[in-house]
Every structure is written in C-alpha cells, then in structure tokens.
C-alpha cells in the first residue's frame, strides 16, 4: 500500500475521495478515504481504485460514508440544506434559532455552529438575506406599497424593514423601486 494512501486514511482526507477506496478485511466493509469511522489496522486494509472492485470482492459499502454513491453529502451538509429549506419555506413567519433547531431535531448551539461553518453566516443572517431578496423582487414586480412588502416578507414594522433594506442594498425600498423601474 502506498504510504500516501495510508496517510489519507488516517487523516480522513477528503481530497482523496474518488481516487481510491479502502476495504477493511476484518469487517468486510469498504470506505472512502474521508470516512470518519474508526481507523483500521494498516495490515487489514486493502486498496481499490474504483467503487466497483470492492463489491466484486465481497465487501459491502460503509453506511456512514456511502462509498457506493457517486455523490455524497455529509450529515452536516444535509443539516444545512434542511435548515435552508425550512427557512426558505417559512421566511415570512417568525422563526428563531430555537424553533429551527427543534424542527431539525438538533440543539440550537450545534445548528448555529454548523450553519455558520458551512455558510459563513448564521441562520438569522441567512433569513434576513432571504427576506431582502424576496422584498427586492416584490418591489420591482408588484405594485405593493412598502408597508405591504415589509409585512409580506416577515418584518413586523416598515421602519425596521426600511432600515435593514437600506443597510443591505444601499437604497431605501422606495429609492430602489425608483432606480430600477423609474416609477
């Protein structure tokens, strides 16, 4: 076995995913190099160069890293995707971190940390950005007055909406409409 492959297995290096797979002879399971399962003994590891070879030799795919799937998203990525989906479907409602975490069956602290690591912003920042993006669309493509737009996207009052909109976009909602539609 190449020393480089062994180092990748020990380090759970995702840069080697797709380059090789490894089977653990004592368990009959094969994994991606990035798998976070317990590191096997080096003498029990067999290297494969595609995801079909181990199956032919009788190894079964790991349930954690799913080497049998061509694309694989991590549990953390799945959590963030679900959070984004919940936020996107409920952007106009009052949805706090605790509510979102409860919906996803995780702790608020864990959700906050994972979301921020994956998205470089908190769930509340993502929600605010979502509301502003939808507000921009409503301002340009409907005849709603700004108070109606504010309530439609989930703001409790139009002054707060106007303040947040100006901070994010650089214009007040009315200035934004005038600049982009001329009306």
> What's the confidence (pLDDT) of residue 72?
53
Distance between CA atoms of residues 146 and 142, nearest Å:
11
Residue 98: other Cβ atoms inside 10 A? 11
Model confidence at 97: pLDDT above 60: yes
Q: Of 67, 64, 87, 88, nearest to 76 (Cα)? A: 64
Q: 25: which DSSP letter?
A: T
Model confidence at 146: pLDDT above 60: yes
Q: Quickly list DSSP for 45-78.
A: EEEESSSSHHHHTT-EE-TTT-TTSSS---HHHH
Q: Of 135, 137, 154, nearest to 146 (Cα)? A: 135
pTM for the whole structure: 0.61
Q: What is the dihedral of CA 70, 76, 82, 83, to 10 degrees?
A: -150
**Chain segment 21-59, per-residue pLDDT in tens:** 999 999 999 999 988 889 999 999 999 998 889 999 999
């Amino acid at each position: 076995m190449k020393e480089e492959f062994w180092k990748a297995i020990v380090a759970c290096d995702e840069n080697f995913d797709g380059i090789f797979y490894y089977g653990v002879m004592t368990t009959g399971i094969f994994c991606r190099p990035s798998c976070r399962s317990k590191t096997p003994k080096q003498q029990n590891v067999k290297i494969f160069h595609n995801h079909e070879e181990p199956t032919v030799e009788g190894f079964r795919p790991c349930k954690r890293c799913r080497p049998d799937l061509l694309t694989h998203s991590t549990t953390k990525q799945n959590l963030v995707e679900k959070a984004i989906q919940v936020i996107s479907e409920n952007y106009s409602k009052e949805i706090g971190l605790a509510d979102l975490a409860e919906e996803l069956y995780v702790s608020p602290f864990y959700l906050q940390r994972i979301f921020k690591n994956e998205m470089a912003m908190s769930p509340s920042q993502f929600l605010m950005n979502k509301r502003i993006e939808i507000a921009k669309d409503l301002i340009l493509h409907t005849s709603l007055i700004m108070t109606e737009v504010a309530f439609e996207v989930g703001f409790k009052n139009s002054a707060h909406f106007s303040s947040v909109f100006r901070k994010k976009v650089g214009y007040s909602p009315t200035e934004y409409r005038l600049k982009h539609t001329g009306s």
